[in-house]
Amino acid sequence: MPLNNLGEFGLIQKIKEQFSLNLPQSVEGIGDDCAIIPESDQSSLLVTTDMLIEDVHFLRSDILPQDLGYKSLAVNVSDIAAMGGVPQFAFLSLALPLNLDGAWLESFFSGFKDLASNTKIYLLGGDTNQSKNGIAINVTLLGRVENKFLKRRSEAKLGDIICVTDFLGDSAGGLKIILDKLPRSADALHLIKNHYRPQLNLQQGQWLSQHASVHAMMDVSDGIDSDLKRIMESSKCGVEIRIEDIPVTSVLKKFAKGHDFDFLQLALAGGEDYCLLLTVDPSAYEDLNNKFQLQFSRSLFPIGTIVEQELTYLQNGMPFKIKNNGFDHFKKADGHE
């Protein structure tokens, strides 16, 4: 089967089928935001890795190197946040063209170091190599979590309220501006910034993980549509989403209206929001949300409910069809560079 028919998730499933058998006891591999390696009865090591490829994930001609350095670490920090962990140690590997300017590299390292310093992450090593086809960046990040606070995708329960911790679609809006070469007004620059420098929910993830009423949690990286399906697969459940409750900024709505594109489709399928998607015990939701507001000066956004089966989108009670699914590296281009 051609890879573009198999798709990213089909490929991952094939890898999982071959390599997830006979893992050491209590080790959890493919299937969540991080691999989980128990250290003791009290804590576990979290391991995640992400790759950014020139002309797939970024355009060197557009992104500032310091923003790329920041983002290359940020996407990994988001995975640790989704499991309630504390990021600690990073490994950075780079494949670079010979003609790359030294000043570009210095700026890249500056952006990486800014986020590493702010999150107390230590760079311990990595690898470097020559590339004949653009820049490739791989970051592996290690973190730790107390076992009693560990959150997985697989713990959603029937009747849970589905929430996100921030607005959806700004990053996808920024990407659309970049790819379609739309005018860079103040609103456009705001959206582009959200694409290049995503606001992380690390503290929110650690705080939410300490509440037993939060059942399942993951980050929103490939679009809420794709990530809801991951919750469904892991938790063996269905999802019902209320389109009118999808949180979208006034900036994205205004820019979309002025340039004739559908902000809802971007919010649902665009990806790279890097907020958190979680499910909450309905009997505890109001109390949890009140405490979240006191802690972070903003509320959670409830967008739907865990049901027995299927993914259903409703707009004011009527079926709603999503035009594009979330991002898949091996399908035709559907949103990313």
For 32-94, give the DSSP string.
Answer: BSSEEEE-SSSEEEEEEEEEEEBTTTB-TTTS-HHHHHHHHHHHHHHHHHHTT-EEEEEEEEE
Distance CA 156, CA 67 (A): 35
Q: Residue 88: how many CB atoms within 10 A of its CB? A: 17
Answer yes or no: are the C-beta atoms of 114 and 236 closer than 8 Å: no
Phi, psi angles (nearest 5°) of residue 155: -110, 10
- The C-alpha atoms of residue 278 and residue 164 are separated, in whole angstroms, by 6
Could you tell me if 145 and 43 are in contact, meaning their C-beta atoms sit under 8 angstroms apart? Answer: yes
Q: Please report the domains of the chain, with CATH numbers, ordered by start residue.
A: 31-149 (3.30.1330.10), 153-319 (3.90.650.10)
Q: What is the pLDDT of residue 331?
A: 60
Exposure string for 152-175, b = 16+ CB within 10 A, e = fewer: bbbbbeeebbbbbbbbbbbbbbbb
**Residue 3 confidence (pLDDT):** 72
**pLDDT digit string (tens) for the chain, length 337 residues:** 777 777 776 777 777 777 777 788 889 988 899 999 999 999 999 999 999 999 999 999 999 999 999 999 999 999 999 999 999 999 999 999 999 999 999 999 999 999 999 999 999 999 999 999 999 999 999 999 999 999 999 999 999 999 999 999 999 999 999 999 999 999 999 999 999 999 999 999 999 999 999 999 999 999 999 999 999 999 999 999 999 999 999 999 999 999 999 999 999 999 999 999 999 999 999 999 999 999 999 999 999 999 999 999 999 999 999 887 655 555 654 444 4
pLDDT of residue 325: 63
Residue of 243, 237, 219, 244 lying closest to 311 (CA atoms): 237
What is the model's pLDDT at position 203? 98
Report the run of H or E that residue 294 belongs to, with start and end: helix 285-296
Token pair 């190197």 is at which residue? 65
Which residues, 6 or more positions from 150, have their beta carbon under 8 angstroms from its beta carbon? 36, 44, 83, 84, 85, 209
> In the beta sheet, which residues pair with residue 163?
278, 302
Global pTM reads 0.92
Q: Are 327 and 266 in contact, with CB atoms under 8 Å apart? A: no
H/E stretch holding 194 reads helix 186-196
